[in-house]
Structure 1
């Protein structure tokens, strides 16, 4: 649908267009909603539909968030892990997302709509952490109202510029499409470059679960660092004998450890991303025997469901 068709649809069925557009974006489809809200806002007061448009956007957003909340509550940490696997560069998606949620608490749901990439993953974390449903719905509703209201208001305040932009886009559709395609290609190239950089970073010797079990039974067992997020540790329980540390405290704590002490880093994230990143950090700080666990927590659990590190 081009911008002229979008404008016509908004003039005819504005409330339904906004509802469906916001719903599709919030369930995770790559459909931008802000341009629709801006155009709708530029037409809202003239049609007397400002309140209905805001209500439709909030209802769609909260409904999608509620579905993700239920998924997080039912399936726990696996939902976040699965969402991060869909990223071109999963990198530290799991750990950074969860740390942000824990640091901001309920306010993370209020600001989530304004943080790219955080809007879809915040609700399942809230469900996995068993946030009370009334608190979740209130925070999600407030965040949606602020986000959608800001876009609608911006569209109304800039209605002259929005209508001029619509006219320019309609008159120069091919040029605009080419520019948008070029911008998308550049963005995609940047993402794949980030992925390439991470794959180079991940080219570090790993330790297999079998090797780790044998090392833990030796006279000089390694220190097993559990870098899973707090939500997963709360859900599945700590690993006895392992040291659980937030990633932002690891290097400071490790400063007191002997540089030649064997260390194994373990996470529960795509590509062992956090374990690799922290292993590199420790190596750069002079620790000479650091290896990430290949396959992370899932591999450890499969290989040694009843094993207890010393």
Structure 2
């Protein structure tokens, strides 16, 4: 029965599955490619001739879905990445790590992004947001699609006998057993979501609103303001709160040794949930800093309230230096240079 199903609908099933996964739906596509590769190896006469067709369809489906994400990044820019922060089951700081990974390797990261969980969902729209030419995007993303699709089919062909045994076991399993497996997968996804909500609630305990920060700055009692967005995100949204200084939560020890513990600090990032800002505030508090608060709503809340913003220097004017921490009295615009567009 499975053989007949694959013979009749195999290429269509692979195309729909890969397209759905590429669009971001929670349906893994690699198992389908592996299963088809295994069936082609076990039935060389009836299924193997469809291998090239399936490979082409898988590549085409990947490019369709990824092109839509690329277009969304091109049109919406940083707002697209903020939306991904809001929807992701992973901590917001994972999105920032992906931004930095893209900043280091540029559009070349698309060649391997599908092999790294969570990387493609951010790197593809970021390629659009960073102004990558579509033909360049297609070249690298297409190469990645070929490698990813071909790897799935090849794994299936190499381990066909083992996969056949697994499929046989699955076919003998009762509906109750399959329901249990599905329930376990849903439970895991639910657990991740609940843990994320718990983390957000824990970190939401202390915040400062943009109106409070603005009042402090107007009263000449301005706290030290840290902008902890990644350099790549600052390229997409090249504005800062006046007087803000760029800081990197990976260099906590440097920050702890540089700044006075008795000063008031406000930290903001790009993601709507401010998780990375809240995490950094938590670490500084543990290190003995007396008053450290994340900015509720981050830079977007400050901007939406109509507060003033300072533009970053243009990429053409900025010196080519690495992302460094400024001194406490150095203006934001002079502390960090932005990298050139890749």
**Structures share fold, TM-score greater than 0.5:** yes
**Structure 1 position 140, deviation (Å):** 0.9
Q: Report if aligned partners of 1:101, 1:108 keep a CA contact under 8 Å in 2.
A: yes
Q: Report if aligned partners of 2:14, 2:54 keep a CA contact under 8 Å in 1.
A: yes
Spell out the pairing of 1:13-162 with structure 2 (5 A cutoff): 13-45=9-41, 46=44, 47-162=48-163
Q: 1:102 to 1:176 in 2, by over 3 A?
A: farther
Matched, 1:256 2:253: no
Structure-1 separation of matches of 2:37 and 2:309? 59
Q: Which has the higher contact order (CA 8 A, sep 6+)?
A: 1
Which whole-Å deviations, capped at 9, do the CAs of 1:1-52 have from their partners, x for residues lacking one?
A: xxx66x5432113222212210111101111211211111013351222222
Q: Report if aligned partners of 2:100, 2:232 keep a CA contact under 8 Å in 1.
A: no
**Structure 1 position 96, deviation (Å):** 2.5
Structure-2 separation of matches of 1:118 and 1:156? 27
1:293 to 292, 295, 299: 295
Structure-1 separation of matches of 2:159 and 2:180? 23
Q: 1:176 to 1:157 in 2, by over 3 A?
A: farther
Aligned to 2:307: 305
Which whole-Å deviations, capped at 9, do the CAs of 1:161-200 have from their partners, x for residues lacking one?
A: 2222222211214254134134314413531452244134
Identify which range, 180-189 or 30-39, moves more after superposition: 180-189
Structure-1 separation of matches of 2:105 and 2:252? 20
Aligned to 1:11: 7
Identify which range, 105-114 or 83-92, moves more after superposition: 83-92
- Report the TM-score when normalising by structure 1: 0.90
Q: Report if aligned partners of 2:200, 2:275 keep a CA contact under 8 Å in 1.
A: no
**Structure 1 position 269, deviation (Å):** 0.7
CA RMSD of aligned residues (A): 2.3
Q: Specify the SS of the correspondent of 2:258.
A: coil
- Report the TM-score when normalising by structure 2: 0.82
Runs of 4+ in 1 over 4 A off after TM superposition: 307-310
Unpaired segments ≥5 residues, structure 1 = none
**Structure 1 position 279, deviation (Å):** 0.8
